[in-house]
Chains A and B, each alone.
Chain A
Amino acid sequence: MDAVVQVEGLHRSFGGQPVLQGIDLDVSRGTIVGLLGPNGAGKTTFVRILATLLPFDAGQVRVCGHDVVRQAAAVRRRIGLTGQYASVDELLTGRENLRLLSRLAHLDRALIHQRIAELLERFDLTDAADERVCTYSGGMRRRLDLAASLVATPPVLFLDEPTTGLDPHSRRTLWQVIRELADDGVTVLLTTQYLEEADVLADEIAVLDHGRVMTRGTAQRLKEQIGTERLTVYLRDSADLDRAVSVLPTASIDRAERTVTLTLAGPDELRSTLNALADARIALERTQASTPTLDDVFFAVTSTPRPGATR
C-alpha cells in the first residue's frame, strides 16, 4: 500500500522548547490513523505542519507525494482540515458557510450548488441549512465543520480532536461519518485524547508523548504489547500498601481504593505475585483480573499519571 502521508525525522521547537523530537509516521491510503496523546504532546503542532500551516526545523513531510513546504499549494488542493475548535462562521447560515468555503476552495461555480446540497444531506443538516450557525448545537457545528473541510472532496483529511466537547450521541454520529469517509477511500489522520475514540475509530494508533511516537500499531497489538492481563489486589489493611509495593516493584498504588495494580505477562506471574504477597503476610480482601485496555497502553507508554494512582 502506498503512503499518502509520509513523515520522516520531523523536528520542531518553539522558542528553544522542543515540541516534536524526530517523528516518523506513514499513513496508508484509505486508513484512519489515530494520533493519541496527552495535552502538550505535540498533536496539534504535528497536524498544523501536515496541513502546511506551520514551518518546521528539520525533517521531510510529504502529503500525496507533495512536499508540504515546497509544494504547499498542491498539498492544499488535496487536504481537508478540521481544527480543534469549530471554525465555522457564527453569523452565516450553514449553507452560506459551505458556499463561502467552496468558493475559497476554488470549486467550479457550476458544481457548488449541487455539492453543497449533497454535503448538507449527508451530514443531516438540510433542515437547518438556512439557519444561522449561532443557533446550532455543538454536534451540528462539528458536523458543519467537517462538511466544510470536505467541499473539495479531498483525498486526505486531518481532524484535530474532532469530537472534543461533544455529547456521547453526537460523538458516535461523527464517528460513523468519519468511518464512512474512510470506507470511500479518504485517508484520515485524527488526533484525540479519547482512548475510546482511537479504539473504535482508528485502524492504527500512534501514541505520541513529548514529541515522539512512543508506540504504534492496531489497538489489539498495542494492548497485547503491554501484557496479557492486569491484576488488581484489594488489601484488607491500608497499612500494608507500602509493603505490597516493595515486594511488587512494578505495581501502582491507589490509596483511596486500598489497591495495588500490576500487569501480568502470564499465569506464572499471577502465581508468583500471590505467593509474594502471602510470603509478606499481607492479607487480601479480593482480587480482580482484567484484560488490558487502551487506557493501560496509554498510561504505560506516556508520562501521564493514572488518575488517583501513585508510584
Chain B
Amino acid sequence: MTPTVAADRSPIGWLLADTSALTGRSIRHELRSLDGLLVTVLLPVLILLAFVYVFGGALDTPGSYLDYVVPGIVVLTSGYGAALTATAVNQDLTTGTIDRLRALPASPAALFAGHVAAALLRTLFSASLVVGVAIVLGFGAVAGPGAWLAVVGVISLYVLAVAWLAVIVGVAARSVEAASGFSFAVLFLPYVSSGFVPPDTLPGPLRTFAENQPLTPAIETVRALLLGTEVGGHGWRAFVWCVAIVAVAIPTSAVLFRRRNRR
C-alpha cells in the first residue's frame, strides 16, 4: 500500500480545510435527503404563498401585504433552516461520526463550523428563492445593489446567530428528538415579532416582547433595505444582537462539547 504522507499546513489552514471538507458533506446531505430539499426549497415558498394568499386578505397592514410580509417570511424560513443545525449536530454526536472524527487529526470545531457554513449556504439559497418568487408575485423591492448586499449581510448574521445557538442545543441534547425541539421554538418566535402583523396590534405583554426581541430589528432592517425606507436604529440593534449571540454561543458550545466528551 502507498505510504501516506501528511500534508503541511498551519493550524488555521487546517481548520479551514477541515471545515470546507465537512461543509461539502453537509451540502451533499441536503441535496440527497428528501426532507432537506423540502425544507430548503418547498417549505419557504409554501409559507410565502400561504401568508400572501391565505392570511393576507384578512390582515390589515400599511401598503400591500406582500410588501409587508416578505421580510418576515425570509427571516422565518432562514431561521428555521438554520435551526435544523441542532438535529444535524446531534445526529453526528449520537452516532459514531464524532468518535471517528475525534480519533483523526482534524479539529472537532470544524464539524460545527461545517454545519453552520452549510446552514448559511442553504438558507441564503432559500431566501433568494423566496424573494425571487415574491418579485414574480409583485413584490415592490426598490433596493439598489448596496442595499441588496446589506440584506444578504443581515440575513447571514441572523443565520449565523441561530445556527450557533442550534449548535449549543445539538451538543447539549441527549437525543435527536430533543434537539429538534429547538427548530419549533425558532419557527414560533417570528409570529411574536413585527414579521406578520405590526406589533402595535398585539396585546400588552406580547407587544413588549415583540418590540424587544431580536427578530423585530432583523426583520425591520431587511424591510427598510428592500423597500427603501429609513433603517434607523433597527440596523445596529440587529447587528449587536446577532454578533453578541455568536460571540457567546461559540465558546459555550465548545465548553459543552468538552463536557460531553468526558462522559
Interface size on A, residues (CB 8 A): 43
Contacting A at CB under 8 A, from B1-44, are 1-7, 9, 14, 17-18, 21-22, 24-25, 28-29, 32-33
CA distance A30 to B104 in the complex (A): 21
B99 touches A76 (CB 8 A): no
Interface size on B, residues (CB 8 A): 34
Chain A 66-77 interface mask (CB, 8 Å, partner B; 1/0): 000000010011
Question: Which 3 residue pairs are nearest across A and B when measured between Cβ atoms?
Answer: A87-B96, A104-B106, A81-B103
> Tally of A-B residue pairs with Cβ under 8 A?
107
- Nearest to A80 among chain B residues (CB) is B103
A101 touches B100 (CB 8 A): yes
**Known contacts being A91-B28, A96-B28, is A48 close to B99, with CB within 8 Å?**
yes
CA distance A86 to B100 in the complex (A): 10
B17 touches A103 (CB 8 A): yes
* Chain A residues, CB < 8 A from B9: 106
* Chain B residues, CB < 8 A from A73: 105
A14-B263, A76-B104, A153-B1 are known; give 19 further A-B pairs, CB within 8 A: A48-B99, A52-B102, A53-B103, A76-B103, A77-B105, A80-B103, A89-B25, A91-B29, A100-B22, A100-B24, A103-B21, A104-B101, A105-B105, A107-B4, A107-B6, A108-B5, A108-B6, A111-B4, A152-B6
B28 touches A115 (CB 8 A): no
Residues of A within 8 A of B (CB): 14, 48, 51-55, 73, 76-77, 79-81, 83-87, 89, 91-92, 96, 100-101, 103-109, 111, 114-115, 118, 122, 132, 148-149, 151-153, 184
A–B Cβ pairs within 8 angstroms, 14 of them: A51-B99, A81-B99, A81-B103, A89-B25, A92-B25, A103-B18, A104-B104, A107-B4, A107-B5, A107-B7, A114-B2, A118-B1, A153-B2, A184-B1
